Amino acid sequence: GFLAENASFARACNDAGLIFIGPDSKVISLMGDKVKAREFIINKGFPVAPSAIEENDPAVFLENARKIGSPLLIKAAAGGGGKGMRIIRDLAELEMQIDEAKSESLRYFGDDRIYCERYIDRPRHIEVQIFGDHKGNVIHLWERECSIQRRFQKIIEETPSPALSPSQREQICSTAVEIARAANYVNAGTIEFIMSPDGKFYFLEMNTRLQVEHPVTEMVTGFDLVALQINIAAGKSLGILQEDIHQTGHAFECRIYAEDPDNQFMPAIGEILLLKPPVGPGVRFDCGLTSGSSVTSAFDPMIAKVIVHGQNRQQAILRTRQALRDTVLLGLTTNTAYLERIMAHPDFTAGKLHTHFLEERQDALKGSLPDDKLKEMLLAAANLADRHTHQAVCEVPEPYRSMGAWRN
């Protein structure tokens, strides 16, 4: 939750004599705050997209933001997950959008500070998993591609990225390590970058915690990232050299949300009547719910994750699609079929990804209703599988059961 990146909470844990499994509160305050982090990155000479940071004078901030030009991206200083974010293509809307972004940021994070940066069209979202220990050792566990997003929220992640050449991969990962080392970072963290269509990459932000998509890194490297977190928090050294960390095969993670993709992604609530996870080679299913659990509007709509590993990207795609089809989650609407349609799209298969992938292909990704014949077959199967129907048939004694509907 949001407390994972809350410097005050980390400090309160330490003051109470508890060990906070994560970086020091001062580092969270520096790197978890988007504005402070950008200033730090700029001062250290790392690549950052042109930006304007909100100061005490709203008029000056507005003027500086206009100078950057459009398209422009407004972001919350204190949080992530798409909250408080706005893309501005018409600068006439800028002042109104700033007010709305500040209001949303205050509502979610208790902090209304925002900043603006030049928005890069059709970018890829590449992030690097890093770890540091108390002895100054910093390593990376390679990158993840998180370009499949809806409303700035990731829904499918993968590693390795199909976009990076070996030299690009080495450059972006080593840059992430240098940033973490400059910040004296300890424990797990993620350095996020935006990569433009011409291959240039820019620092986006740092998440000072373990992220939702960390299992794909575990699948291709073989390291348990949670165990690493705990060991480092206990004062142990990493015990891993960079040359010991290799990528083997390919992995995907699909986030299952309680929502209806065919009805403007309306949130879905209700009781989970039956949950049957997928199984198979390389398949992992992470979920905190069981059959009988209730999904309400009081919680995040993400209810499960399907993580799949394959020897290569093509095999991983096929295995993931099968795992999504095999996932049984009855009682409320989910985006499982929508995720499978995304992965079946030829552009996804070809690795032609960017953060507007879903918007540009929304018509092609719509679901189709079953025809009348399929509907009849499904209704018949449901009727035959119904316990009460089955009992009604089986409780008729012989020879009347065999006689069927015949009457004298």
Which tens digit of pLDDT belongs to each residue from 238-264? 999 999 999 999 999 999 999 999 999
Sign of torsion over alpha carbons 226, 229, 234, 239: positive
Predicted confidence (pLDDT) per residue in 188-200, tens digit? 999 999 999 999 9
User: What's the pLDDT score for residue 407?
Assistant: 64
Ranges 27-36, 282-291, 389-398: which has the least confidence: 389-398
- pLDDT for 51: 81
Compare 119 and 400 and report the one with higher pLDDT: 119
Say what the pLDDT of residue 120 is: 87
- Report how far Cα 50 is from the mean position of its chain's Cα atoms: 25
Task: Give residue 290's pLDDT band: very low, low, confident or very high (50, 70, 90).
Answer: very high
Predicted confidence at residue 372, as pLDDT, reads 86
- Can you give the pLDDT at residue 298? 87
Dihedral of the CA atoms 286, 6, 177, 129 (nearest 10)? 10
Q: What is the distance between the alpha carbons of residues 36 and 39, in angstroms, rounded to a whole number?
A: 5
79 or 127, greater pLDDT:
127
Q: Is the pLDDT of residue 184 over 80?
A: yes
**Percent with pLDDT over 90 in the chain:** 66
Higher-pLDDT residue of 407, 318: 318
Tokens representing 29 are 């305050």
Confidence at residue 238, expressed as pLDDT on a 0 to 100 scale: 95
What's the chain's average pLDDT? Answer: 91
pTM of the model: 0.84
pLDDT per position as a tens digit, 344-389:
999 999 999 999 999 999 999 998 877 888 888 988 888 888 878 7
pLDDT tens by residue, 92-151: 888 888 888 888 888 888 888 888 888 888 999 999 999 999 999 999 999 999 999 998
Question: Is residue 213 scored above 90 in pLDDT?
Answer: yes
* Span 122-138, pLDDT tens digits: 999 999 999 999 999 99
Mean pLDDT, residues 263-290: 95
Q: How far apart are CA 44 and CA 365, in angstroms?
A: 43
- Cα-atom radius of gyration of the chain, to the nearest Å? 25
Quick count: other Cβ atoms within 10 Å of Cβ 154?
Answer: 22
Contacts 24+ apart (CB under 8 A), 220-227: 220/142, 220/159, 220/160, 220/247, 220/248, 220/249, 220/250, 220/251, 220/309, 221/141, 221/142, 221/245, 221/246, 221/247, 221/248, 222/248, 223/141, 225/129, 225/131, 225/141, 225/188
Q: According to the model, what pLDDT value does residue 64 have?
A: 85
pLDDT of residue 62: 86
- For the cut 70, the answer to whether the pLDDT of residue 408 exceeds it is no
Q: Which position has the higher pLDDT, 244 or 404?
A: 244
Backbone torsion region of residue 122, taken as left when φ is above 0, otherwise alpha when ψ lies between -120 and 50, otherwise beta:
left
Q: So what's the pLDDT on residue 107?
A: 86
The three-point CA angle 188-36-235 to 5° equals 30
Q: Which helix (H) or strand (E) holds 287?
A: strand 283-287
Q: What is the pLDDT of residues 37-78, one digit of tens each?
A: 988 999 999 998 888 877 667 888 888 888 888 888 888 887
Q: Which amino acid is at 223?
A: F
pLDDT for the residue numbered 57: 77
pLDDT of residue 251: 98
Whether 310 has a pLDDT exceeding 70, the answer reads: yes
